[in-house]
Structure 1
């Protein structure tokens, strides 16, 4: 009896397992004929329609402090990172050559002044001689030749005096130039700012024949300029006074806001793409992306922003605050009245089609002005079209 009862229990258990396996096989092997949809909820939040650009940070005011005279950099009065004030002494070029040049011009001017005094004395004597010759000539007390010689000598001395006066004026100009060159050996700050780069070190010789060599760079970091590179596809949509913001790699969650000041009329590589004849080079133009620089400024308290930082810039074309929105993929056909068809999946998985008015559209999400309620599920696609999308959406 016990063996018969045990066989019966084994048979029942085996039959249950078979039924369970058949049920599972039927569930997995026989497709569900009901359609499966990918859905997204109607949410509430802020929307922005923006033009994206990559930019770099620059100081709003930046000056290359150079030398106008040649010579050895005798001393450097500041170091990297120092804050300086306008007219502060920054560096000194060896002044010996400039001092000697000034002494030489002063000596030349003194020599010419002495020559002028001598010429003035000779001129006075020539005037006396000429006056006596003119008085004696009517009485035949002198010859015509002596009279003409006295007149010629008087004219020569007068001309010599005029020439020396001109040479003295030129010498004084040379003195002023030498004094200025001597002053240029003392390099001072042209503005308030911070030393952001030192190009020339103490002991180096600078040559200022063709262009002024740079000693150091000063920048006012209280205000930074953002130079955003806007593509030619988007530049028609941006204009001055539009709001813009950017983030930097070190603070990706902090936004810095400003207003566009200008959009440069020529692309940033305009000079590079010109051929020697002044026209645009065809080969380089066809292979080069075209970007236009949009400029705006932001305050920089604490100087946290630094020169040449990379900025991820967004130019705001439109904003909508705390509005209902859905993915753009949920929009269907557009009706003549401007409304769009949207499929909505109810709590009982019943599919209905609604007509909605939309607002701001940033090509990812779209504002819904009427026709939907917060929390409703809208259809954005068929599960068969994207079998892996459901887990990705978390719906």
Structure 2
């Protein structure tokens, strides 16, 4: 009887003391290691179209969403004041020209008088004082004529300025693009003093620029020329690809604090403020599906591998001096063996296996007796 009980105990209870492991199967997949960032979409070109002269906005020639060509007439500031200023400048030139002709006639008269006095002085037929008066009159008339020449040149400059200001009342498109905002409505008065008031905004939407904010911890791992892609909230399964064009040398908070002042004193960031650098890349936008200020979930690729062997990162053991990792492998007979593997791409979830494992083998992630949190962290775990 005791022998039978011992056999039953050995069969049912001794097995339960065998080690139980969480395992994952060595499998294949496309892997990528990427820097993740959040970005915003901007037009590749965006221009604030403003007024360079003051006056009432007489008419708008376009509406929101219109596509325009460079040089196309967009709006008109009431030209009456500018037209009058041009006419006044032209009249001033005419007036000065008439005065110049009068002065030229007086100069001719002064030259004749001077010649007579000069001849008479040589013949002792006039007083020295009269001769000197003739010389002075001649010099004054010459100076007057030179002064009118200068005034006419100045008046002609005013004509050019008035003509330019009249031209500014006709506002034309500086680029090809789409009207994305109308800031000033017909009938409003604009005052162009220290800066040009904005009438409307144009954007070139055939190409969009992604401005991705990359943390200071990741920015040292990226460079111009790397492949990047992003998804948008409304279309999370569609990827838009591009190549990094540039990484701005100054962080975003530095640019915000400078505020265009150009000073270097405010360049330090506040303590405990996260620092992000803008990485820029362009993507084509046929049909203008992508819009200004959309949020982009950006991946900047550091490395990729197609159909690569991989295991969960949780399976990696200690790294050896030769760069290999120790991995525990569970055999078909439930025996554990330690292997050394060479690892490739590691995205902190999956790691590429370059050598040391075969597809279908099972690697140990941990013991089944470990806390639930540790087990959950082991991606792709199997019992």
Do both proteins adopt the same fold according to a TM-score greater than 0.5, normalized to the shorter chain?
yes
The CA RMSD over aligned residues, in Å, is 2.2
Residue-by-residue CA offset, 1:209-246 (whole Å, 9 max, x unaligned): 11001111111111111111111111111111111111
Match of 2:42 in 1: 58
Measured after TM superposition, the shift of residue 31 of structure 1 is 10
Residue-by-residue CA offset, 1:22-74 (whole Å, 9 max, x unaligned): x9xxx9x9993222211111110111111111111111111111000001111
Aligned 8 A contact 1:89 1:186 in 2: yes
Aligned 8 A contact 1:340 1:357 in 2: yes
CA–CA distance in 2 between the matches of 1:342 and 1:352?
Answer: 8
Residue-by-residue CA offset, 1:296-351 (whole Å, 9 max, x unaligned): 11111111111111111111111111110001110112334432221222334332
Aligned 8 A contact 2:23 2:381 in 1: no
Q: Does 1:366 align with 2:340?
A: no
Q: Does 1:259 align with 2:243?
A: yes
* SS of match in other structure, 2:59: strand
TM-score, normalised by the number of residues in structure 1: 0.88
CA–CA distance in 1 between the matches of 2:85 and 2:210?
Answer: 46
CA–CA distance in 2 between the matches of 1:118 and 1:387?
Answer: 107
CA–CA distance in 2 between the matches of 1:272 and 1:50?
Answer: 27
Match of 1:78 in 2: 62
* SS of match in other structure, 2:250: coil
CA–CA distance in 2 between the matches of 1:373 and 1:244?
Answer: 32
Q: Aligned pair in 2 of structure 1 residues 184, 274: CA closer, same or farther (>3 Å)?
A: closer
83, 98, 106: which is aligned to 1:114?
98
Q: Does 1:279 align with 2:251?
A: no
Q: Aligned pair in 2 of structure 1 residues 322, 392: CA closer, same or farther (>3 Å)?
A: closer
CA–CA distance in 1 between the matches of 2:71 and 2:366?
Answer: 69
Q: Identify unmatched segments of 5+ residues in structure 2.
A: 1-7
Matches for 1:1-395 after TM superposition, within 5 Å: 32-273=16-257, 278-280=264-266, 284-387=269-372, 389=375, 393=380, 395=382
Aligned residues: 368
Larger-gyration structure (1/2): 1
Aligned 8 A contact 1:258 1:296 in 2: yes
Measured after TM superposition, the shift of residue 187 of structure 1 is 0.1
CA–CA distance in 1 between the matches of 2:381 and 2:311?
Answer: 15
Aligned 8 A contact 2:312 2:380 in 1: no
Aligned 8 A contact 2:314 2:379 in 1: no
CA–CA distance in 1 between the matches of 2:183 and 2:258?
Answer: 30
CA–CA distance in 1 between the matches of 2:161 and 2:81?
Answer: 13
Aligned 8 A contact 1:273 1:285 in 2: no
* SS of match in other structure, 1:103: helix
CA–CA distance in 2 between the matches of 1:306 and 1:122?
Answer: 72
Measured after TM superposition, the shift of residue 280 of structure 1 is 3.9
* SS of match in other structure, 2:112: helix
Q: Identify unmatched segments of 5+ residues in structure 1.
A: 1-22
